[in-house]
Structure formats: structure tokens, C-alpha cells
A and B are shown apart, each in its own frame.
Chain A
Amino acid sequence: EAQVTQNPRYLITVTGKKLTVTCSQNMNHEYMSWYRQDPGLGLRQIYYSMNVEVTDKGDVPEGYKVSRKEKRNFPLILESPSPNQTSLYFCASSLSPDRGWYEQYFGPGTRLTVT
């Protein structure tokens, strides 16, 4: 089954404790992206990757890191989480924009609470 998986689905942590949210897709997609969803603000893109070893900032990259060492994986790293990073996070993937703009497939979401 074609899917995007995220782990963990729920996470409660404390300020400053480094964490990683994993994202994996099995569709051989080139484009992957991370979003955060906050009430009244919709979805905002954090980082995206056009392909392996190619990443770029979205609209709200501060406080986050990403890496793309393999095509299927795109982890989101919070080196020192703060309470304002409490949010619902989505990973998404699609075929390469170089081939045209295709729909994104979204993971189920990770609800992060930073206290």
C-alpha cells in the first residue's frame, strides 16, 4: 500500500530536549516536505527536499533541521524544542516538480507538545 508513515504519532517532551520525528514513504517520490498545522494559521511549510541531499527552507524553518540521506526518509529534527513548537506536524511526498506538479501524499501527523 502506498503510504507516508510518521513516528511517533504523539510526543510530549520538555524544553531543550532534542527530538527527531521520522518520515518515510514507499512511493519512490523525489519531493518531500514538512508542515506544521496551527489553529487559525493553516499549514505552513517548514522545509522541503527536491531529492536526496537537496533540502531548502520553507516559510517557517527557524528551530528545525532536516536531512535527506536516502530517498525514502526525511526526518525532522528539533535540536532544542521550545513551547512555541507545540503543534501538529505533517510529512508529505510527491513526484518531482521537475516532471510537473503532482498531488502530495500526507502522513497521519505527529502531535507534539513541548512543556
Chain B
Amino acid sequence: AQSVAQPEDQVNVAEGNPLTVKCTYSVSGNPYLFWYVQYPNRGLQFLLKYITGDNLVKGSYGFEAEFNKSQTSFHLKKPSALVSDSALYFCAVREGDKIIFGKGTRLHILP
């Protein structure tokens, strides 16, 4: 069974509109969840994580994510998209001592 799924290969959003990048997970026990971003020709950069506590997690560059245990989801959100947010976004989950990444979602912010 896939530990983490990103159901959308690509998401297009107009600049200034809110954005959501979806992630669902499937792990036993308490999930440890992460979002990373990859800009062209760069390594991955950490955005935010959920370990425990508040279901709404705030991270870098104005991004936030909502942990929903009943829906086993950890969607990434931003209230107002910028063209510079265009990048490849990865959701990841801890599984034992390993980190399992989703396949990534390419976010295009249209001017």
C-alpha cells in the first residue's frame, strides 16, 4: 500500500487566488508529515511539518497545511498565490526510520 499519495500531477492557479495541493497518507500509528518544495535545478527545501499538536501548521513563504486525521489528509495551502510559488511540491511521511515521498505535484501560478 502506498504510504503517501499526491492525486494531482499538476495544479494551475491564477496569481492572487488561494491554492491547495493535496496529499493523503496511509501509515500505522501517529503520522509524521512533511512538505518540501523543489525549484528548477535545485534541491528540495523544507516548508513545514506536522508531528503533533494543532491541526493547522504554518510554514515558510506563507504556506500552511491542515492535518485531518479522519480523512488521512495533509493538504498544503496558501491564501494568495504568487508567480514565484511555481515549483514542484512533495508531500512526505515517516514510515519507521524511512521517509516516503509522494510523486510530487507541479504547481503553476498563472500571471
Contact = CB atoms under 8 A, between A and B. Distances in A.
Partners in one complex: yes
Interface of A: 4, 33, 35, 40-45, 48, 50, 56, 58-59, 90, 92, 97, 100-101, 103-109
B90 to A, nearest CB: 6
Interface stretch (B38-46, B63-71, B79-87): B38-46
A50 B42 contact: no
B11 interface: no
Main secondary structure of the interface of B (DSSP, over half): strand
Interface of B: 6, 32, 34, 36, 42-46, 49, 51, 90, 92, 94, 97-104
A11 to B, nearest CB: 16
Contact of B97 (A44, A50, A106): A50
A90 B42 contact: no
B43 A106 contact: yes
Given A101-B32, A108-B42, A43 B98 contact: no
Contact of A59 (B32, B46, B100): B100
30 contacts: A4-B43, A35-B101, A42-B6, A42-B101, A42-B103, A43-B44, A43-B90, A43-B104, A45-B101, A48-B97, A48-B98, A48-B99, A50-B97, A58-B98, A59-B98, A59-B100, A90-B43, A90-B44, A92-B44, A97-B97, A101-B51, A101-B94, A103-B34, A103-B49, A104-B36, A104-B46, A105-B46, A106-B36, A109-B42, A109-B43
Nearest to A90: B43
Contacts of B34: 103
A97 B95 CA distance: 11
Contacts of B44: 43, 90, 92, 104, 106
Given A43-B44, A43-B92, A101-B94, 17 more contacts: A33-B99, A42-B102, A42-B103, A48-B99, A50-B97, A58-B98, A59-B98, A97-B94, A100-B51, A101-B49, A103-B46, A104-B36, A104-B44, A104-B46, A104-B99, A106-B44, A106-B45
